[in-house]
Amino acid sequence: MIPSETLVKQAKDRQFVQDPNKAPTEDIHDIIFQLEKEGEWEVQRVPEPYMEVKTKYGRIKKIPIEKTWHHKSCGQCGHIPGYSTSIFWLNRKFGYDYIDPSDQTSCTAWNYYASATSNAAAQAAVAMRNFAAAAETGYYPLIHCGTSFGHYKETRMQLIHSAELRRQVRDILARLGKKFVIPEEIVHYSEWVHAMRDKIKENQVRDMSMIRATVHPACHYHKLITEDVIYDPEIYGAQRTAIITGTLQAIGVDVADYSTWYDCCGFGFRHILVSRDFSRSFATQRKIEVMKKEANPDVVVTHDTGCVTTLDQSQFAAKAHGHEVGVPVLSDSQMAALALGAHPYKVLQMHWHNTDNTGLLAKMGIDPDKAWAEFEKALEKLKDGSQQYLTWEDTDG
C-alpha cells in the first residue's frame, strides 16, 4: 500500500501560481478607467511614489506611501484607540505627510451587516461622500477598518455594474455639492503596513525574535472581493493572504500555524452587541483555545476592529468558566509600532485592551510597571491642568 502521506502532499507545501492572464475575475482597474473615459466619474490616482504589491491572481495593486487620508474605524477609535494611534504614529515615525480628517463618517457597514437598516443607494452615497471628501484635500484614502475596506469594494462593484445606481448616487453627490470621484485602488491600512515592512525592519529597535504569534486574518479583508487581496508566493505558497504574516515575519516574530486559521472570530456584527454568548463561544472555543493548544502563542495578531475586540474581550468570561485562554490580542500596526520602539501605553494604549498583556511586554524586554508609571506621570499633567491633552511630543519621551 502506498503511504497516504506520499499521496497527499501537505497543503503547506503546495504553491498557488499567480497568473493575471488566468484570473477568473475581471480587472476592476480596466472598468473604472473605462467609466472615467465615458464621463461617468473621476478616478483619484494613487499618489507617487507608491509601492507595488501582488494580489491573489498576480495583478499589481498600488499602495500609497504618504499623502494619505485616514478613513478611521468606529470600533478602533471608540473602544481600542491605540490601534488607530499606532497607525498615525508609524506615519509620523517615517515623517510621512497625512490627514486625520474630521470630514469623515463611518462607512455605516457595521450597522448594515447587523441590522440591514440601509439600502444600496445609501451605502454607496456614504462611501462616495467620504471619497469625495478625501479627493477635495488631494490626499488619498487609507481605510483603517476591514469591514469598511470589504464593504467599499462591494459597493464599488455594485456601482460598476449598475448604471442606475451610479446615476442615483451621482445625483445625490451633486446635491451635496460633491464630486463623483472613486479612488483608483481601495487600500486597507494593513496593506500599507505590509508594503512598509522592509522599512519597518530597517528601523527596528526592539528584538521580536523571542515572540511567537498566531495570525487571524479578518473575514471582510480576505473573503470579500478576494481577488483584490495581497497574496505572496513566499508566504503560505500564495494559498492564503500574506497580510499580517508578512509584516510579523519581517520583524522577526515566529508565526505559528493553527488549524482554524480560516475561521472567523465570531464578531457577527449584531451578535457582538446583542447576542454576545455566540461571539464569546466562537472566539474562545474555535480560535483562542485552538491556538493555545496547537501553537501556544504569546500574542494573537489581527488587523481589524471587530477581530481585536471579539478575540480579546471574550476571554474574560471564558476564563471564569475555566477555559484554556489568556492570550493578548494586538493589531499588526501595534506590533510594528512596538518593534519601532513605541511606548505601550502612550502610543499603543494597551490599557484599553482586556486580556493581560504584561507578560508579552516583559518578554519583549519592556518593564510594564515602569511603562505604566511613565504613562501615569504623563496623566498628572492633565489632572493638574497644566496640559489639556497628551500630544505626539509626549509620546517621544
Partner 1 sequence: MALDLRINKYADVPMEEKQRLFDEVTRDERFEEYLYGCYECGICVASCPSARFYDFSPRRIAQAVAREDVDLVYTLMNDSIWDCSQCFSCDRCPRKNSPGGLITIMREVAVNNGLSSAQEALEGYGRIVYKIMGTGTQVSPDMLQPNAFPDWGPHVKDISDNLDIWRRALPPETLHTTETGWQVDDKTIIELYLIWHMTGVMNMIQEVDEGLYEILVDVMEERLEEEGYDVTFD
Q: Which is nearer to partner 1, 62 or 328 (CB)?
A: 328
Q: Is 74 in the site for partner 1 (CB under 8 A)?
A: yes
225-to-151, 186, 292, 309 alpha-carbon distances in Å: 9, 11, 31, 24
Strand 50-54 to 60-64 pairing: antiparallel
Task: State whether the Cα torsion 99-35-63-78 is positive or negative.
Answer: positive
Out of 64, 141, 266, 368, the only residue in the binding site for partner 1 (CB under 8 A) is: 266
Minimum CB distance to partner 1 smaller for 127 or for 295: 127
Write the DSSP assignment of 99-128 as a string of letters: E--SS-----HHHHHHH--S-HHHHHHHHH
Q: Which residue, 1 or 116, is less far from partner 1 as judged by CB?
A: 116
Least Å from the CB of residue 271 to partner 1? 6
- Binding string, 187-226, against partner 1, x = CB under 8 A? --------------------------------xx--xx-x
Write out the binding residues for partner 1, residues 378-397 only, by CB under 8 A: 378-379, 382-383, 388-392, 394-395
Alpha carbons 246 and 240: distance in angstroms, whole number: 11
Binding of partner 1 by 94 (CB under 8 A): no
Indicate the SS3 state at residue 279.
helix
- Provide the minimum distance between the beta carbon of 140 and partner 1 in the complex, in angstroms, as a whole number: 18
Residue 105 binds to partner 1 (criterion: CB under 8 A): yes
Q: List C-alpha distances in Å: 81 to 74, 85, 249, 271, 303.
A: 10, 6, 25, 22, 14
The one-letter amino acid at 174: A
Q: Which of residues 142-161 bind partner 1 (CB under 8 A)?
A: 150, 158, 161
* Nearest distance from C-beta of residue 108 to partner 1, angstroms: 6
Q: Give least dist CB 272 to partner 1, A.
A: 10
Q: Please name which of 282, 159, 306, 158 lies closest in space to residue 221, comparing C-alpha atoms.
A: 306
Burial of 161 (0-12, 13-18, 19+ CB in 10 A): exposed
Q: Is 179 in the site for partner 1 (CB under 8 A)?
A: no
| 110, 189, 231, 258: which one binds partner 1 (CB under 8 A) | 110
Length of the chain measured in residues: 397
**Pattern 124-143, partner 1, x by CB under 8 A:** -xx--x---x----------
- Between 252 and 341, CB nearer to partner 1: 341
Residues from 317 through 336 that contact partner 1 (CB under 8 A):
317
Please, what is the minimum distance in Å from the beta carbon of residue 107 to partner 1? 9
Hunting for cell 490627514 — which residue is that? 99
